[in-house]
Structure 1
């Protein structure tokens, strides 16, 4: 893959991680995740990106970190061998990072895109207390007794020594962010803790984070009495280091500890001379962590990639609260949908008679009458039924309740929609203080969500009306066509009805002969048979009405309420909202991390194959023994 492609992938991943960090900072309960994501983003930009692009391995970086007032600047001076950092008794004096370049081989200062995040390099000196997103680079002059620059070799000549800001709280957007950039860049971390505040929560948590990131850590304990140094070291190992996150094999990480007790003024001001005994042990522990430039950088990059994988595994924790609130919104939308459908059922379907079916019912009844020449007989039967028909209509007129004017379907649906939206707005206002999702909905409801929902509903309702009209007409015609297109059934029903009427007439005449007033049973009998036919057709029509009601209810659900509910449920995640961005980031980041880890592994393997390990360096005192590539430092003579 070309460097530009690596740069693009690294930039996208770093931006996504930074966005997730900002997202966490807006929610206090996720503040701890913000530190993890900040470090992951910084590792991506400052370590993984340059490695994949083929940037030079040199220089290596040593970062001095610790809590306020721990003595970090003093430790920096000891590493530098001279008083270069501004040591100040004021806690939190150092506000921006400063890089010190010891005398040594020349190298090009990193200038790749994304280096140190939003911080920029100062072109002129500023006090360490300047609270700005900047860093400065200072060169350490060789000591006057070195005999010239070319003849002097600094123990950390291939390193950059970083004096870092204090750490205060994970929610800080100030110098803790600057500290994260340097900590991510570092190949070795010198963690400084004082006797007074060695177990402060925030620095200890930061130490845990560094160990999780696979950083090589050296602990420098300060400000204890010389006679208490050994006991303090042991206590620190048990209370602090003993609680570090364990390695995958179940063991605790090996973290060397050195003690720098209270020193005299001469020792503090002359690290390479009077204070050499404390300086040398610290330098030796750092050099032991760095076998060679390539091996050290490969370890830093490999551990950074593993840390990204760990951070990726915790992404769902970052978004769990957001998804919970989103599910709550979807449940509220679902409750509104149920209320919408219930209101439609109660206010419209329960009272709607679908009068169009009366016409089809009457048509069914007419089909049962005799056609053509049989209409004469039908006319006679109609005349015989006249007294009954008049009486029935009169009685029904007295008993029947007047029809209540039913609200139009559009009126009911529009009212139900208004109730649905009012419920959603009320809920969003009620919960606007609990989460940004509800606040976002409440703020944008009147200007965006409400009008957009009504427009979508109006469009869907027009399509619904067309389907509805066609559905009614087709269902009614199916009642009549089913009988008209089945002549056998039609003539059987007509013949059966005629036979029943003739049987009734014949029976009355036969059993009441000679004729008398009992012949009045004939109109009653033929009226009863006709009423039976009407009841049968009414039952068929009512069955069709029930089917239409059920189908209409389904049609409202499929054409109106379900599409609108689906749109409302996803609305917070569309239109450029933070939830849309969150979903996009959560889809991209795991795959990006996996690809980044694969690329790092492949390149480390390729470099290892190309560069075999150098042969061991013989020890001058004992040729049979070997020593590390970088020799431990011996105290200089006074």
Structure 2
């Protein structure tokens, strides 16, 4: 699941960089934030599984200049967190170990992934993919043993550069401390982030900073309304903070001294797997919306291929297999039968004569060679190539129609361009496969001739009649060849002989058997053409075209990849089974 979430996030980020529509950009950025949160939360689950003794994690979040770093220092009873009046001063997640050793936090590097752990003094403004961990040497009266995280803001102009670090720190938290000021509490950015993290079900408190006399009750009532609009869980406890001039820090109320210690008892790591499942299910459909739209387009593309492929096979049946004049394959079987019917005394004379005959281009076979006929001169291969070309033309027309309909129009338009650019390569491969099919199918033609010959051996009267007819036809051909040099031999040998053979077979007891053999040959031929040409070549090539669409423009996540990911969303008794 983690790998799939990362893949989906990467595709969203790539596509976002290419988008021109601002409204779609906003939606996609929100989904990227959600995916970063889900990725981090899955990593936390892995961390808890490997390090069950991981210290408690508290994270302070809030908008710019809300006083987050000042609150961290107040809770730590130190000046460990650097503070500044400048907006966006903190740009890295900074963890402070209170009552725990750095060695107890070694698993955090695995959690942060590509983020590098650096000493606090080495954090650079030029790098955002890093974080720090520092031991707090002072004694805190407000914190249980934990890691307290100071985080960058999430609402400044530059926050997009370090937003991932904020989200990772939030997903790691066992307790969230929302730090807001009276100037910032109503900002939409605050409630957008609080809405996103609701699915994590982290115990939360709100610290209200920079309060003036008499403003507390009014602001808290407004906070309740904002919370109700953003979230469905109960409104958390609010801690009002008043500025302490002597310390230069907001003062944590003495009445709430044990609040965080008590809240820590509500943290239950065993609930993480179920929470993780709920998080994924909450956003799953919205994340996959564009992916599913591509799959629908892909299914439509498959349907177009099947539709045009079915029509192509029907054209092949009509214009070749069932055409009374164009179907040549069974005639070739009959021509092979004539070879099997040679009279022993004339066999050598006929063989020598065939070596010097000049055959027309439309010959069905070249005598003196085993091959029955040339694939290049076959009407069948020419027709198959025409049908394949017509099929691609039909597909191109349908793609343009789809592009004009609006839904996934850009997908269809670019797909049409891709088909057009590869059309000749597809047709060339099909033509080569058609020739190979034609040559390999000669074995079936021979087999058909042998079936007829063996059946004829059971009919001696018919067999002798055919042999006599063959001698007459060949004798006439030999005489004509002596005078003409073989011009027109095809018409005088093949056509009369085949007509006579066909008539004798049809009128004899072999008639029904011959029709059966011809029908079986056609059926086998149709099946072979369908599989070896239309399925293994055309359909396979066309189905693979979507894989060549740019990953920077489209998600290109296959139905198989999606199905594999969704199979991981299997609820177990104790939570979620992860990849």
Measured against the shorter chain, the TM-score band is 0.5 to 0.7
Q: Distance in 2 between matches of 1:427 and 1:89?
A: 62
Q: Does 1:257 align with 2:252?
A: no
Show the counterpart of 1:410. 381
Give the alignment partner of residue 54 of structure 2, picking from 44, 53, 57. Answer: 57
**Aligned-partner SS, 1:236:** helix
SS at match of 1:160: strand
Equivalent position SS for 1:215: coil
Q: Where does residue 560 of structure 2 map in the other structure? A: 583
Q: Which runs of 5+ in 1 are unaligned?
A: 1-12, 143-151, 246-251, 365-404, 492-529, 602-638
TM-aligned CA deviation for residue 162 of structure 1: 1.1
Q: CA deviation at 1:188?
A: 0.6
Q: Does 1:48 align with 2:45?
A: yes
For 1:89 and 1:163, the matched residues in 2 are separated by 16
Q: Are the structure 2 counterparts of residues 189 and 567 from structure 1 closer, same or farther at C-alpha, using a change threshold of 3 Å?
A: same
**SS of alignment partner, residue 105 of structure 2:** coil
- Aligned mates of 1:443, 1:134 — CA distance in 2: 45
Aligned to 2:179: 192
Q: Which residue of 2 aligns with 1:383?
A: none
Partner of 2:228: 241
Q: Distance in 1 between matches of 2:156 and 2:293?
A: 22
In 2 relative to 1, CA 593–574 (structure 1 residues): closer, same or farther, beyond 3 Å? farther
The alpha-carbon distance between structure 1 residues 560 and 80, as it changes in their structure 2 partners (threshold 3 A), is: same
User: For residue 248 of structure 2, what is the aligned residue in structure 1?
Assistant: 269
Q: For residues 357 and 131 of structure 1, what CA distance do their matches in structure 2 show? A: 78
CA 1:204–1:445 in structure 2 vs 1: closer, same or farther (change >3 Å)?
farther
Residue 320 (structure 1) shift: 1.9
CA shift at 1:458, angstroms?
3.5
Alignment pair present for 1:136 and 2:132: yes
- Aligned with residue 12 of structure 2, among 16, 24, 44: 24
Shift of the 557–179 alpha-carbon distance from structure 1 to 2, 3 Å rule, reads same
Contact conserved, 1:95 with 1:131, CA < 8 A, in 2? no
Mark the CA change 1:334 to 1:129 in structure 2 (over 3 Å): closer, same or farther. same
SS in 2 for 1:192: strand
Distance 2:153 2:451 in 1: 83
In 2, distance between residues paired with 1:556 and 1:37? 47
Structure 1 pair 355–266 and aligned structure 2 pair: CA distance change class (3 A): closer
Alpha-carbon contact 1:165-1:179 (below 8 Å) kept: yes
Residues 1:287 and 2:261 aligned together: yes
Identify the residue that residue 66 of structure 1 maps to in structure 2: 62
Residue pair 2:178, 2:206 contacting (<8 A) in 1 also: yes
Deviation at 1:67, TM superposition (A): 2.9
* Residues 22/156 of structure 1: CA separation in 2 closer, same or farther (3 Å cut): same
Tell me the distance in 1 between the aligned counterparts of 2:67 and 2:128: 22
Say whether residues 1:352 and 2:329 are aligned partners.
no
Q: What secondary structure sits across from 2:201 in the alignment?
A: coil
Contact 2:381 2:434 in 1 (8 A): no
Does structure 1 conserve the Cα–Cα contact (< 8 Å) formed by 2:388 and 2:427?
Answer: no
Query: 1:120 aligns to what?
Result: 116
SS at structure 2 position matched to 1:174: helix
2:278 to 298, 307, 310: 310
- Asked if structure 1 preserves the Cα contact closer than 8 Å seen for 2:330 and 2:518, the reply is no
CA distance in 2, matches of 1:67, 1:444: 52
Q: Give the Cα–Cα distance (whole angstroms) in 2 for the partners of residues 22 and 437 of structure 1.
A: 24
Q: Does 1:327 align with 2:324?
A: no
State whether residues 233 and 259 of structure 1, in contact with CA within 8 Å, keep that contact through their aligned partners in structure 2: no
2:142 maps to which residue?
A: 155
Q: Which SS does the other structure have where 2:198 is aligned?
A: helix
Q: Secondary structure at the match of 1:108?
A: helix
In structure 2, relative to structure 1, the CA distance for the partners of 1:44 and 1:284 (3 Å cut) is same
**8 Å Cα contact 2:88/2:158 also seen in 1:** no
Q: CA RMSD in A?
A: 5.1
1:108 is the counterpart of 2:124: no
- Change in 2 beyond 3 A, CA 1:338/1:95: farther
Partner of 1:513: none
Q: Which residue of the partner structure matches residue 207 of structure 1?
A: 194
Distance (Å, rounded) in 1 between the aligned partners of 2:157 and 2:561? 26
- Deviations along 1:497-549, one digit per CA (max 9) or x if unpaired, are xxxxxxxxxxxxxxxxxxxxxxxxxxxxxxxxx9xx89975998899878766
Secondary structure in 2 matching 1:227 = coil
Runs of 5+ consecutive residues of structure 2 not aligned to the other structure:
17-26, 339-375, 464-499
Q: Within 1, Cα distance between the matches of 2:416 and 2:198? A: 38
Look up the SS of the partner of 2:110 in the other structure: coil
Q: Secondary structure at the match of 2:91?
A: coil
Deviation at 1:124, TM superposition (A): 5.1
Structure 1 residues 442 and 174: CA distance shift in structure 2, 3 A: farther
Larger radius of gyration: 1
Return the alpha-carbon distance in structure 1 between the equivalents of residues 309 and 159 of structure 2.
Answer: 43
Separation (CA, whole Å) in 2 of partners of 1:443 and 1:135? 48
> Aligned residue for 1:398?
none
What is the CA–CA distance in structure 2 between the aligned matches of 1:171 and 1:483, rounded to whole Å?
91
Q: TM-score, normalised by structure 2?
A: 0.65
1:98 aligns with 2:70: no
Structure 1 residue 182, shift from structure 2 partner: 1.0
Distance 1:226 1:61 in 2: 33
Separation in structure 2 between the aligned mates of residue 170 and residue 591 of structure 1, nearest angstrom: 38
1:501-580 matched pairs, under 5 angstroms = 552-564=525-537, 565-566=539-540, 568-569=542-543, 572=546, 579=556
Q: Determine the C-alpha separation between the residues in 2 that align with 1:331 and 1:281.
A: 69
Tell me by how many angstroms 1:133 deviates.
Answer: 0.8
Residue 288 of structure 1 and its aligned partner are, at CA, apart by 2.6
Q: Distance in 2 between matches of 1:473 and 1:554?
A: 18
Task: Give how far 1:304 is off.
Answer: 2.8
1:190 Cα offset (Å): 0.9
Number of matched pairs:
477
Looking at structure 2, the residues matched to 74 and 211 of structure 1 have their Cα atoms a distance apart, in angstroms, of 25
The alpha carbon displacement at 1:352 in A equals 1.3
1: CA distance, partners of 2:222 / 2:309: 63
CA pair 255-562 structure 1, distance change in 2 beyond 3 A: same
The SS at the match of 1:591 is coil
